[in-house]
Amino acid sequence: MNRLEGKVAIVTGAGQGLGLAVSRLFAEEGAKVVGTGRHVEKVERAFAAVLEEHPEFEMVAMQHEISKRDEWERVIEDTVARFGKVDILVNNASVTSGKYLMDIDEDSFMNVMKINVVGELFGIQTIAPYFEKNGGGSIVNVNSIGSMVSGDADGWDPAYSASKGAARSLTRHAAFQLSGKGIRVNSVFPGPIETPMLRESLQNDPAIAARVEANNPLPPHISTAEHIAQGVLFLASDESATMCGAEVVIDCGHVVI
């Protein structure tokens, strides 16, 4: 506990899944958390449920379109106005196209790139001068093993994988160029994450369960959002103080098969 005591964190895409798990874990560890989302009502509802259980947490929701630079400026300014500073940025928000290679149209492809790559770029560019002025900070980018492998028999969403490949390269450049300013930039690379729909499929379809087990050999074969959040916490905390440009893969062994 208290691994982030006194820290202030911005977490994008905080209304559900991994973003919500990270926000909750950070609050448990003592951080003040600003969770952002395109649809702020979703973040507000999610945070309200957490705060009902833990009224001592300090969690605030903010509307945020990450592909707009001025929105980044506003979120950072509002966070500093509310909590006095920012120490951590978690670039978690992303989208998929839901389409296979030959079905992707230009608009769908460019929308994925705009949010997953340009949005991350704007976040880094906007927070970096603030971190430099205030003695440093930690940026954790949520990537995907989709940037490392082409997938199983069904393949990955190529637009999503391409965007995460670009974001992977962007992270390495940012880590190199910002390290001398006391700014650490690292990434987590989740594999498949358990969802209610996936859990139901695994329980009801032995063929899907067998394929998931074969493709992800380390039990329990599928990570939860909480598993991934622990990796984000480590990279955000002072425990990883000498890590920069690191790629932490959390995938039940998928990339090693």
**Helix pair angle (206-215, 196-204), 10° resolution:** 110
Looking at residue 15, which CATH number applies to its domain? 3.40.50.720
| pLDDT > 70? residue 151 | no
DSSP annotation of 115: I
The sheet with strand 137-142 has its strands ordered as: 59-63, 32-37, 8-12, 88-91, 137-142, 183-190, 247-250
- What integer pLDDT is reported at residue 75 of this predicted model? 99
The residue assigned the tokens 């880590």 is: 175
pLDDT tier at 153 (50, 70, 90 boundaries)? very low
Residues carrying an active site annotation:
160
**Domain span at 225:** 8-252
3 within a domain of the structure (yes/no): no
152 within a domain of the structure (yes/no): yes
Q: Cα(170)–Cα(118) distance, rounded to whole angstroms? A: 10
41 within a domain of the structure (yes/no): yes
- What integer pLDDT is reported at residue 204 of this predicted model? 86
1 within a domain of the structure (yes/no): no
Share the mean pLDDT of the chain: 94
- For the chain, the domain total comes to 1
What would the two tokens of residue 82 be?
Answer: 């509310």
| pLDDT > 70? residue 212 | yes
Q: Cα(24)–Cα(224) distance, rounded to whole angstroms? A: 14
257 within a domain of the structure (yes/no): no
pLDDT digits (tens, 9 = 90+) for 116-137: 999 999 999 999 999 999 999 9
- What integer pLDDT is reported at residue 154 of this predicted model? 52
| pLDDT > 90? residue 33 | yes
Mean pLDDT, range 177-200, rounded to an integer: 91
- What integer pLDDT is reported at residue 1 of this predicted model? 75
Amino acid, single-letter form, for residue 143: N
37 within a domain of the structure (yes/no): yes
- What integer pLDDT is reported at residue 69 of this predicted model? 98
| pLDDT > 90? residue 139 | yes
Q: Between residues 132 and 198, which one has the greater pLDDT?
A: 132
Are the CB atoms for 228 and 144 separated by under 8 Å? Answer: no
**Coil/strand/helix, residue 67:** coil
Range with the largest mean pLDDT of 74-78, 195-199, 213-217: 74-78
Query: What is the pTM for the complete model shown?
Result: 0.94
DSSP conformation letters of 175-223: HHHHHTTTEEEEEEEE--B--HHHHHHHHH-HHHHHHHHHHS-STTSSB
Whether the CA torsion 186, 101, 112, 97 is positive or negative: it is negative
2 within a domain of the structure (yes/no): no
pLDDT digits (tens, 9 = 90+) for 49-101: 999 999 999 999 999 999 999 999 999 999 999 999 999 999 999 999 988 89
Are the CB atoms for 60 and 35 separated by under 8 Å? Answer: yes
What would the two tokens of residue 153 be?
Answer: 């028999």
47 within a domain of the structure (yes/no): yes
